[in-house]
Amino acid sequence: MIPTFTSLGAGPVILMLHGIGGGHRAFAPQVETFASLGYRAVAWDMPGYGHSPPIEPYTFKGLAQSCIALIESLLQAGKGQSVILLGHSMGAMVAQEVVARRPDLVNRLILCGTSPSFGKPDGDWQRDFVARRSAPLDAGQSMEQVAKVLVPQMIGPGALPEGVHLAEFCMALVHPSTYRRALQCLVTFDRRAALPLIRIPTLLVAGEFDPNAPPTVMKKMAAQIAGSRYAELPGIGHLQNLEAPDAFDALVLNFLAETAPSHQSAATDIAERPPDPPTLH
């Protein structure tokens, strides 16, 4: 079954995959901006989120298969051959899984606030992580209460207040059972061996103050992907696209313009480009 999604604009498809505390609304600023500059901007609800039906078992294989089904549906409707895939946090892990399984469906890859594996391969450590994150729900707290505690712990000192409020709103809407299943899934991820196999233009974006995917982790990740670009947003934490939407969008749009296939006119004309973002490395 195809997951639900929001879509705006026409042109090359850029598909955005949210993190564990998100939903399609987590990319609201990007959907509007990218669509206005000549892209078909699509943001999904991962299985179990929003109105997307859950999957069983809840695994990265299943999530990737759902994403692949959505991509094929989007391409069939638009007569395209591949999409731009942008993932944040857990969504970027799903993106890595998709590229590992179906590299033919993706022409450019943007990985934000993520890693190629979850922590150390230690069962006790992973169980402890799940237990800590689940403890507030076990104690009877709502996802809204969880969001008000967790979101402020993930942001940097330069975060836009409106973006923080949207992040809390999105997390509050996540169903507790989906959140629990996503946590269990998250700790199983390991695609480190697949990084050198990525052969498409790739941008990795880190937040200077990201406690979940620190710049050191993302720099090492970038070093494993031939020809990839690394960018860091100063003053920003884990929720990059909501904490600093203008700077984030500028990074992505300039990367897409500079790596546009020769047969595809760049969607961002020079005169329309946002101000220069932080330097790409």
**Res 111: pLDDT:** 98
For the ranges 20-29, 33-42, 72-81, 203-212, the lowest mean pLDDT is seen at 72-81
Pairing of strands 13-17, 40-44: parallel
Domains in the chain: ranges and CATH: 5-272 (3.40.50.1820)
On the question of pLDDT at 268 being above 70, the answer is: no
Residue 98 sits at the vertex; the CA angle it makes with 74 and 75, to the nearest 5 degrees, is 15
**Is the model more confident about 131 or about 25?**
25
Helices in the chain by DSSP H: which ranges?
Answer: 28-36, 60-78, 90-101, 123-138, 143-154, 161-172, 176-186, 215-223, 240-243, 245-258
The answer, yes or no, to whether residue 90 has pLDDT greater than 90, is yes
Q: What are the C-alpha distances in Å from 167 to residues 61, 127, 171? A: 26, 26, 6
Q: Using pLDDT thresholds of 50, 70 and 90, give the confidence band for residue 274.
A: very low
Average of per-residue pLDDT across 86-97: 98
Question: Residue 187 — φ and ψ, nearest 5°?
Answer: -75, -5
For residue 161, pLDDT beyond 80: yes
Q: What percent of the chain has pLDDT over 70?
A: 91
Integer Cα distance of 75 and 71 in angstroms: 6
pLDDT for residue 273 is more than 80: no
158 burial via Cβ count (<10 Å: 0-12, 13-18, 19+):
middle
- Token match 């638009």: residue? 78
Q: How far apart are CA 95 and CA 156, in angstroms?
A: 25
pLDDT, tens only, 120-150: 555 677 888 888 889 999 999 999 999 999 9
Q: Please tell me the predicted confidence (pLDDT) of residue 262.
A: 62
Token pair listed for 75: 């391409």
Tell which phi-psi region holds residue 40, choosing left (phi > 0), alpha (psi between -120 and 50) or beta: beta
Q: For the segment 93-123, what is each residue's pLDDT rounded down to a tens digit?
A: 999 999 999 999 999 999 999 999 986 555 6
**pLDDT reported for residue 120:** 59
Share of the chain above pLDDT 90, in %: 84
Per-chain mean pLDDT for the chain? 91
H/E element holding 110?
Answer: strand 106-112
Q: What are phi and psi of 164, to 5 degrees?
A: -65, -40
**pLDDT of 74 higher than 50:** yes
For residue 128, the model assigns a pLDDT of 84
